[in-house]
Amino acid sequence: MALLSGLDETGLTLRVRGRPGIQAALPLPADGSPVDVRTLWSGSTSTRDPAYCAFLSDLAAAAKAGQVTLEFPPFVTPVLEEPGAWNLIGDAAFAVEYPDAWDTLSESSPNHALKRFERRLYLSHLTSWLESLPNGADVLDVGGGIGRFSQEWLRRGYRTSLAEPNGGALALALGHLARQGGAFSLWQLAAESLTPFADERFHLVSAMEVLCYLSEPQRGFVEAARVLRHGGLFVASVESPVGSLEPGVKHSLDDITAAQSVTEQAREGDLWVRYFTAERLRAACESAGLVVETIIGTHYLTDGPLHHAVDVDRLGDVEYEDGLIGVEHVLAGSTRWASAARAWLVVARKP
Distance in Å, CB of 166 to ligand SAM, minimum: 4
Segment interacting with ligand SAM, rule: CB under 6 A, options 173-181, 209-217, 273-281, 308-316: 209-217
Q: Closest Cα to residue 301, out of 124, 141, 146?
A: 124
Write each residue from 122 to 161 as x if it is in contact with ligand SAM (CB under 6 A), else as -, in one continuous string. --------------------xxxx--xx------------
Q: Is the CB of 56 or the CB of 191 nearer to ligand SAM? A: 191
In DSSP terms, 239 is beta-bridged to 343
String of b and e for 126-155 (b: at least 16 CB within 10 Å)?
beebbeebeeebbbbbbbbbbbbbbbbbbe
Segment interacting with ligand SAM, rule: CB under 6 A, options 20-28, 83-91, 287-295, 311-319: 83-91
Question: What's the number of CA atoms in the CB half-sphere (13 Å) around residue 314?
Answer: 11
Q: Is the CB of 18 or the CB of 144 nearer to ligand SAM? A: 144
Q: Given candidates 7, 53, 80, 228, which one binds ligand SAM under the rule CB under 6 A?
A: 80
H or E segment to which residue 178 belongs:
helix 167-180
User: How are beta strands 138-142 and 202-208 bridged, if at all?
Assistant: parallel
Q: Given candidates 191, 204, 281, 306, which one binds ligand SAM under the rule CB under 6 A?
A: 191
> Within 10 Å of residue 191's Cβ, how many Cβ atoms?
26
Q: Is 191 within 8 Å of 210 (Cβ atoms)?
A: yes
Q: Which of residues 163-182 bind ligand SAM (CB under 6 A)?
A: 164-166, 169
In DSSP terms, 161 is beta-bridged to 140, 185
Q: Given candidates 121, 137, 162, 214, which one binds ligand SAM under the rule CB under 6 A?
A: 214
Distance in Å, CB of 146 to ligand SAM, minimum: 7
Q: Given candidates 55, 197, 213, 344, which one binds ligand SAM under the rule CB under 6 A?
A: 213
**Per-residue CA distances from 164 to 33, 120, 170, 300, 342 (Å):** 23, 22, 7, 27, 23
Distance in Å, CB of 205 to ligand SAM, minimum: 12
Q: Is the CB of 55 or the CB of 102 nearer to ligand SAM? A: 102
H or E segment to which residue 289 belongs:
none
Q: Is 212 in the site for ligand SAM (CB under 6 A)?
A: no
The radius of gyration of the chain's CA atoms, rounded to the nearest angstrom, is 20
Q: Is the CB of 214 or the CB of 306 nearer to ligand SAM? A: 214
Q: Is 227 in the site for ligand SAM (CB under 6 A)?
A: no
Q: Which of residues 261-320 bind ligand SAM (CB under 6 A)?
A: none
Q: Which of residues 36-75 bind ligand SAM (CB under 6 A)?
A: none
Number of residues that bind ligand SAM (CB under 6 A): 23
Query: Using CA atoms, how far apart are residues 323 and 341, in angstroms rounded to an integer?
Result: 18
Distance in Å, CB of 130 to ligand SAM, minimum: 16
Q: Given candidates 6, 73, 84, 232, which one binds ligand SAM under the rule CB under 6 A?
A: 84
Nearest-10 Cα torsion for 280, 282, 286, 291: 170
H or E segment to which residue 177 belongs:
helix 167-180
Query: Using CA atoms, how far apart are residues 267 and 256, in angstroms rounded to an integer?
Result: 21
Distance in Å, CB of 261 to ligand SAM, minimum: 24
Query: Using CA atoms, how far apart are residues 141 and 163, in angstroms rounded to an integer?
Result: 6
Any residues with CB less than 8 A from the CB of 42 and at least 6 apart, and which?
none
Q: Is 184 in the site for ligand SAM (CB under 6 A)?
A: no
Q: Is 162 in the site for ligand SAM (CB under 6 A)?
A: no
Q: Is the CB of 143 or the CB of 297 nearer to ligand SAM? A: 143
Q: Given candidates 87, 240, 298, 302, which one binds ligand SAM under the rule CB under 6 A?
A: 87
Residues lying near ligand SAM in the complex (CB under 6 A) are found at 80, 84, 87-88, 91, 142-145, 148-149, 164-166, 169, 190-192, 208-210, 213-214
